[in-house]
Structure 1
Amino acid sequence: MEDRKFRNAMGSFATGVTVITTEVDGNIHGMTANAFMSQSLIPKLVAISLKEDAHMLKKIKQSGQFCINVLSEDQQDLSKVFAGQVKIDSEIQFDYLDGKPVIPDALAQVACHVKSEYIEGDHTLFIGEVTDVNLEDGEPLIFSKGKYRTLEKLENPVAAVN
């Protein structure tokens, strides 16, 4: 099967947009990623997947920690900056969660230390043990079929049935 056909099929799955951050020798590094998932509740584990040639791969291996920042619908520009699609003149400000750098106002900030890693195909899967979480109000930034999207707001939402 052709690579493009496979990529298009995988791109049909709508995902949230995250920025993965870490800090090495006092320098903060980040990259936009949508290969993230919750792995386990007990213990609290998450998984991220990074391509073998990604600059962040080496940084996470060096630091042994990372944060997942789930972006809000208002943070599309940040997604583009950390994806290397847009350059900005100003310095990006970070907050800290459990001593790890996070994106201010992200919908969710998940601090982790690397529990294990697995090389599969051309990616490394990092399993992170969650050390802290912070939540904010707002709506998520969505990515599907190569485009940013937002959730449609319903005028008359139907109440959940128990």
Structure 2
Amino acid sequence: NFGIGQDIQPKQDLTCFVKWPLYIRLQRQRAILYKRLKVPPAINQFTQALDRQTATQLLKLAHKSQYSHHLGGEQEGSAGGNRPVSEEGVPYCIIKGKARLGRLVHRKTCTTVAFTQVNSEDKGALAKLVEAIRTNYDSYDEIQRHWGGNVLGPKSVAQIDKLDKAKAKELSTKLG
């Protein structure tokens, strides 16, 4: 009995009652909104970034060879504008952080980098990386058609489950 003057209540997690600072509330709300809203495929493809280990290997190889080439406005348009990279047969990948690519070409940021030459001793490492990248990005067409976000919250999921159970129960009463 936990009335006044009686037993002490057990310790509880009271974090849900804390008045969190505004920046924490905003970043939590923003994260939830990003999950809830539908994201078009053209933007959602950037969530399919290369994993950290492979990206680090690729950047180390690029720093080592220093033959990576920044594509300017005209070349970038010709590289990405006319035909998709998948049709060209050129392996591509998405790496998080434009600044990381910018360091390769001695700029602040860079969106597109291409390998123009590779040292002969690095060709084996590059071939392994290309194989790993191709396995990750071989479903280019599917990535281009897949919408992102649109994750329902717990209340909506519970409501849908409740409706499904009611429909199943109604169907079983009709049949049985």
Of Structure 1 and Structure 2, the greater helix share is in: 2
TM-score by length of 1: 0.22
Whose RCO is larger (CA < 8 A, sep 6+)? 2
State TM-score, norm by structure 2.
0.21
- The structure with the largest strand share of the pair is 1
